[in-house]
Structure 1
Amino acid sequence: MRLPVWALALLATLIAQTVSSFSLIALPLLGPPLMQRAGLPPEGIGLVSALTSAGTCWCLASGGPMLLHHGPVRTLQIGLGCMALGLLVLSQPLGLLGLLAAVVIGFGAGPNTPAGSQILIRTAPPRHRTLIFSIKQAGVPLGGALAGLAVAPLVLGHGVPWALGAIIAVVLLTVLVMQPFRARLDGAERTGSPGWVRALLSPSAMARSIGALRAHPALPLLTALGTSFTVVQSCLNAFTATYAVTRHGASLVEAGQIMALMQGSSMVGRIAMGWVADRMGHAVRHLALQAVASALAVLLLITLGGQGTGALYGCAALVGFTAIGWNGVHIAELARVAPLHLVSDVTSAASLFGFAGSVCGPLLFTLVVGWTGSYALAFGLVAAQLAAFGLASVAFMSRSGGAS
C-alpha cells in the first residue's frame, strides 16, 4: 500500500530524529570508558557535551544553504554521515584532538529541526499539523530511552569498541534506509546553492539565519519562550539523577529508572500536547499556559520529592510530561507563522537560541548549587524564569489582541 505523502514525511523525519537522538545520548553513557581511552579525566565528558552543542549551533547558524542545495532528506543523510564519522574518530585514543570529533557529531545532529520542519510544513494536513510535528519530536526521548536500554548492555557484554561499532552501524544503516524517501520528498525542494560549503564558515550566513526571526511579529516571543523552556529541560536532564541520589538517597539504579520514566513521560507528553494544541487552535496561548504548568511541576518535584519513592517517581513523570513535552508544539508554531520559503531558516535560528540556553542553563545551575549548596533553590530559579516568560507571553497576547 502506498503511504500518503504526509505519513511518508513523518516516518522519514521520525526515523532520522530517533537515530540522531540515540547517538547523542550514547555519548554521556559511554563517558567514563571514552575518557579513559582518550587519557582524560571522567569529567572530560562535559567538554564533549559542550563541543557537541557547539557543533549543532554551527549547523543551525550556517547550514541553510546546504539544505537549499541538497534538499531536506539528503541533508538529513549528510548529517547522519557526519555523526558516524565523528563517532568513529571519537572512538580512537587521540586525546584532545579526538574530542573535536564531538563538533562533527553535533553538526550532524543539527539538520533534524530545519530539514524536518521543511518536510512536514509542506506535507502535514493543517488540522493535524501540531500533532504530527509533536510525534516527530517524540523521537528525541524515544532515541534517548533506546540508548539507555541498549548501550550499557553492549559495553558490559562486548566492550566499548564493539558498542561504538554497533552505534555507527545503526547510523550508517539509517542513511541507506532514508534513500527511498528522497524521490517523493526532495524533488521540489532543491533550489541550488553552489556556495553552501563557503557559507558554513561565513559570518554573513549566520547573520542572515538569525535575521529570519524578523519575518513575523510572533517569532521573537516564540523564540524567547522556547529558549526559556530549553533552560528548564536541559537542567532537568542534567541534574535530576544527581538530585535524586544526593538529596533523596536514591540508588543509581533508581536514579536511572527515574530518568527513564521522565523521558518516557515526555514522549507521551509531546504527542498529547500536540493533540491538545490542535484542538485549542491557539498554540502560543497553549505554550504560555504550559510554561506556567511546567514551572509548578518543577516546584512540586522539589517540595514533594522527598516524601517517598512514589512521590519522587510521580513528580518526575509530571515534570517530563509538562516541562519536556513542549517541543513539538513550539516547532510546529514556528513553522506555521514563518513564510514558507523561510521555514528552515526560522526554525534553525530559534533552535540556535535554544541550544545556547541548553549550554548556559546548566552552567548557571552549577554555579548556584556551588554557591548555595541548594538544588531546590537552583530548580526554583529555573522554574521561576519559565513561569515569568509564560505570564509575560499571556500579557503580551492580551495587549496585542491575542494573535494566534
Structure 2
Amino acid sequence: MVLILTLTIQSLATMVLLVPPVMAPVLSAQLGVPAGYIGFYIAVAYLSAMLSSLSAGAMLTIVGPIRLSALCILSSAIGLTLFVMVPSVVTLALAGIFIGLGYGPVTPCSSQILIKNTPMHRLSLIFSIKQTGVPLGGVLAAIIMPSLQDMVGWRSALGVVCVMLLICAVVSLFTPRSWEPDASGVRKSFREEFLGALRTIYRIPVLRTLAICSFCFSICQLTLMTYAITFLHEEVGMSMVLAGVFLSVSQAAGVIGRILWGYLADHFFSTWSMLMVLAVGMLLSAVGVFYIDANASDWWVIIIFAVFGATAIGWNGVYLAEVAKRAPEGKSGSITGGTLAVTYLGVVLGPPAIGLVSQAAGGFGYGFLSLLLPTIASIILLGRTRKHFQRR
C-alpha cells in the first residue's frame, strides 16, 4: 500500500506537469504563440520545482512526507485551475510556478517514506517501481489528453485533471501515520537544511557525480517529453493522436526500463555499469530521432522511441536508490532534494536551450541531435569516477 500511494502521487504529479507540452499544438494556437514556447513553461515549472526540492528537507521535518505530498498535489491543482479559468501566457506561467512548487518535494517525500518501509536488498527495485510513476504520468497525459480534448474540448479536459488531483490529495490525508518515519525532533531553517545538503553532495564524490549526471540525463528526458509530439506532428506530418501514441510508447518503455534497470542493479550489475549503459542508449536514440522523417516506417519509429524512453526515462530509479544508499543516515529526504535541485536545473536550462537550437537550426531534429553534448559529457564523467562507485 505504501508503494501504491507513492506511485499514484508521482504519476499524477507528472501527468499534470506534462499536460501543457502534450497539448502544445492546441494551447499554442489558443494563446497565439509558437509551440516551441511551451519549453519556457517547462523551464518555469522546473525552476519552481528546483527551489521547492531544495527546501523539501526542512518542510519534511515540519509537515511530514504524507501531508506534504497532499499539499504538493493541491498546489498543482490550484495552478492548473488558474490557467483553465483565465487562459493566457501569464496564467500559463503561474500554472508552471504552482505545478513546479508541487512537483519538487514529491520525490523527497516518497524517498523518506520508502527508505523506512523497504528492505535494503530491494531498494533499487522498489525505488524504480515507484519512479515508474513518471513515465506512467507521461503515458496518461499522452494517451488520455489528446482524445479527451477531441471529445470535450481542451478546457474541460484540463478540468477533469483538476478533479483527479483534488481526489488524490484528500485520499492521501487518510493514510496511516505509521507509514511515515519518526520525527527527528530537530527543525532546521530552510537555509541550514538545503545548504547542508548541498555541502554533503559536493563532499561525497559519488553523490556529486550522480547529481551532475542527473543534470545531463534530465535534459534528454525532458527534451523527449516536451518536443516529441511537436516534432512528429509539425515536422514529420503525423496526426496529434498518432504522435501521442508514439510518445506513449516511449513512456511505456520507460516504465518497463525503470523496473528492469532497478532489478538488474540490485542483482547483477553495479549502479555505475547501469548508468553508463543508459547514457550510451540515450546518445544512440537521439541520433535515431534525428533521422526520422515522413518516409520512416512506423516500426522504426517505435523502436527508436522505445529505446529512447527506456533509457532517457528509465534512469531515475537506479539514480535515486543510489542517492538514498549514499546519503547519511536520516538525511535521505534532504540529500535527495539537493540532488534533485541539480536534476531540475537541467530541466530548467535544457528545454528552452533545445527549443532555441531547433529554431535556429530549422527543426526539432537538430534539437534532438544536440543531445549528444550532455550524453557524451555524462559518459566522460562516469568513466573518470568509476573507482568512487566501487567504494562503500
Q: TM-score, normalised by structure 1?
A: 0.86
Q: Tell me the residue number matched to 1:234.
A: 222
Aligned length: 389
CA contact (8 A) 1:53 1:355 kept: yes
Task: Write out aligned runs for 1:255-266 (5 A).
Answer: 255-266=243-254
Once the 2 structures are TM-superposed, how far is the Cα of residue 80 of structure 1 from its aligned partner? 1.0
Once the 2 structures are TM-superposed, how far is the Cα of residue 163 of structure 1 from its aligned partner? 2.8
Question: Which range moves more in the overlay, 386-395 or 113-122?
Answer: 386-395
Task: Write out aligned runs for 1:85-234 (5 A).
Answer: 85-93=78-86, 95=88, 98=91, 99-186=93-180, 188-189=182-183, 191=185, 193=187, 199=190, 206-214=194-202, 216-234=204-222
Pick closer, same or farther for the CA change 1:50–1:299 going to 2, 3 Å: closer
Gaps (5+ residues) in structure 1?
1-7
Question: Which range moves more in the overlay, 359-368 or 374-383?
Answer: 374-383
Alignment partners' CA distance in 1, 2:88 and 2:25: 14
Question: Which range moves more in the overlay, 48-57 or 11-20?
Answer: 48-57
Pick closer, same or farther for the CA change 1:133–1:42 going to 2, 3 Å: same
Task: Write out aligned runs for 1:298-377 (5 A).
Answer: 298-303=286-291, 307-373=296-362, 375=364, 377=366
CA contact (8 A) 1:291 1:390 kept: yes
1:385 maps to 2:374: yes
Instruction: Tell me the alpha carbon deviations over residues 137-165 of structure 1, each in whole angstroms, 9 at most, x when there is no partner.
Output: 10111112112333334333334443333
Alignment partners' CA distance in 1, 2:369 and 2:151: 41
Once the 2 structures are TM-superposed, how far is the Cα of residue 258 of structure 1 from its aligned partner? 1.4
Q: What amino acid is aligned across from residue 229 of structure 2 in structure 1?
A: A
Alignment partners' CA distance in 2, 1:401 and 1:103: 36
Higher Rg of the two aligned structures: 1
CA contact (8 A) 1:56 1:108 kept: yes
Q: What amino acid is aligned across from residue 41 of structure 2 in structure 1?
A: V
CA contact (8 A) 1:81 1:172 kept: yes
CA contact (8 A) 1:270 1:325 kept: yes
SS in 1 for 2:227: helix
1:396 maps to 2:385: yes
- The structure showing larger relative contact order (alpha-carbon pairs under 8 Å, at least 6 residues apart) is 2
CA contact (8 A) 1:70 1:192 kept: no
Instruction: Tell me the alpha carbon deviations over residues 2-40 of structure 1, each in whole angstroms, 9 at most, x when there is no partner.
Output: xxxxxx321221111011112222233455666777x66
Pick closer, same or farther for the CA change 1:371–1:33 going to 2, 3 Å: closer
Gaps (5+ residues) in structure 2?
none
CA contact (8 A) 1:51 1:106 kept: yes
Once the 2 structures are TM-superposed, how far is the Cα of residue 295 of structure 1 from its aligned partner? 1.6
Once the 2 structures are TM-superposed, how far is the Cα of residue 332 of structure 1 from its aligned partner? 0.7
Counterpart among 9, 13, 22 of residue 2 in structure 2: 9
Q: What amino acid is aligned across from residue 366 of structure 1 in structure 2?
A: G
1:267 maps to 2:255: yes
Alignment partners' CA distance in 2, 1:162 and 1:286: 42
Counterpart among 44, 55, 67 of residue 51 in structure 1: 44
Alignment partners' CA distance in 1, 2:368 and 2:58: 39
Q: What amino acid is aligned across from residue 128 of structure 1 in structure 2?
A: R
Pick closer, same or farther for the CA change 1:318–1:55 going to 2, 3 Å: same
Pick closer, same or farther for the CA change 1:96–1:380 going to 2, 3 Å: closer
Question: Which range moves more in the overlay, 299-308 or 263-272?
Answer: 299-308
CA contact (8 A) 1:69 1:190 kept: no
Alignment partners' CA distance in 1, 2:145 and 2:365: 31
SS in 2 for 1:100: helix
Q: Tell me the residue number matched to 1:3.
A: none
Pick closer, same or farther for the CA change 1:60–1:166 going to 2, 3 Å: same
